[in-house]
Amino acid sequence: MTALFGLDLRGRAVVVAGGGAVASRRVRRFVSEGAVVTVVAPEIHEDLERHALHGDVTVLRRGITPQDLDGAWFVLAATDDSELNDAIARWAHERQVWCIDASDASKGSARQAAMSKHGDLAIGVLSLDSPDPGRIRTVRDAIARHLDAGEVDMRRRRPGSGRVILVGSGPGDPGLITVRGRQALSEADVVVTDRLGATELLVTVPYDVEVVNVGKSPDHHPVPQHEINRLLVERAREGKTVVRLKGGDPYVFGRGGEEVHACVAAGIDVEVVPGITSALAVPASAGIPVTQRGVATSLLVTTGHAGADAASVAAMAAGATVVVLMGVAALPEIVEAAVAGGCDPDTPVAIVENGTTSRERITTGALSDIVRICGETGVKPPAIIVIGEVARPGLLAGDLAATPEP
């Protein structure tokens, strides 16, 4: 019978005997877990050379001896000599050190599971009979897909300390939320949601999860920011996992910093899950590269709340791409200041409404006439405004798509 345990190897000595491909793969995992790794082998794989170069592992370029195991917590016997691996397993047994024998798992005291991490949970699968790495990886991957798709209720069952997870849900398409963001939703007792982003995913949370809508529109702010901060802290103090579901990325004009500050000041554990920012994703979905070699090599992201600030006007005049979030109402002011600041009136402008969703609409024009066009077509928020040569219609279909390397 095999008992399953998890070992915390952070800061603990791990000895790897062997420098080949098997050792190289296993070392990656030990390093990622924070172990203090020593590799003992006459010759080592190029991957291990890189680890050594970056100071991730210590390499002893010689054959292994029993004394190399002294003080170790864990040993991997992965030489190309099965008899030597078996001997290393015996040395480890004599020292009461956990050991994986890569030649014959039955001769070691441990087996390495095929693992995947999902937030603060790890799933491990291992063979109880003769080792079958391909089989356990297939099972692990099937379970991981199930968890990462949000199909398992991963809420905590035992009372504990509350926490807040700020999740950037991306520009709107639910497929553009990160895997960690999707996992966090399945852990939530409470979801505090914006109006924008991948809110479609809320239909997948269990019915007894509390969903609080604090979304703002340009002319309607029903829940002020200090109340949102208070709500996050209050629910977390009740011992709940609170997911703050935000559009785009929490730190790109999303007031994520203010919410993190409120949690830290209150002593609440807080995690930030970055999201795909609308400033980049929405133009990309509309076929607009915000930078393009030979066209624009710099980018400035601003918000309509800043109006026609000097930095944006200077960037436009210099030929940089300027992306404006929440800028529909401020567009006339921005255009006027840009032209007065020396920008070419023929500079292309593209406005993408409801980017990445089924309601996406693209409106294009030049600085000189984009305000009139917006009025005629009824452009409305949410929208991303792209100003610069990259917004010229058909850019990628032209000769620039095949610009040779310098």
Active site residues per annotation: 194, 216
**Among 353, 384, 387, residue whose Cα is nearest residue 370:** 387
Decide if 76 contacts 69 (C-beta within 8 A): no
Residue 386 carries which DSSP code?
A: E
Q: How many CB atoms lie within 10 A of CB 264?
A: 12
Cβ proximity of 337 and 308 under 8 Å: yes
**262 near 182, Cβ under 8 Å?**
no
Q: Cα separation of 92 and 111, whole Å?
A: 14
95 and 69 Cβ atoms separated by less than 8 Å: yes
Q: Quick one: which of 214, 164, 212, 213 has its CA closest to 187?
A: 164
- Token look-up 């990628």 returns 396
Helix/strand/coil for 213 = strand
Helix axis angle, 256-265 to 225-237, nearest 10°: 40
φ and ψ of 378, to 5 deg: 70, 45
Residue 151 CA: distances (Å) to CA of 111, 146, 154, 185, 187: 29, 6, 9, 10, 11
User: Rounded distance, CA 31 to CA 10, Å?
Assistant: 9
Determine if the peptide bond prior to 382 is cis (ω within 30°): yes
193 near 174, Cβ under 8 Å? no
C-alpha dist (Å) from residue 116 to 7, 161, 174: 15, 24, 23
- Compute the 3-state secondary structure of the chain and give helix, strand, coil in percent, each to the nearest 5: 35, 20, 40
Tokens (6 digits) for 352: 């993408």
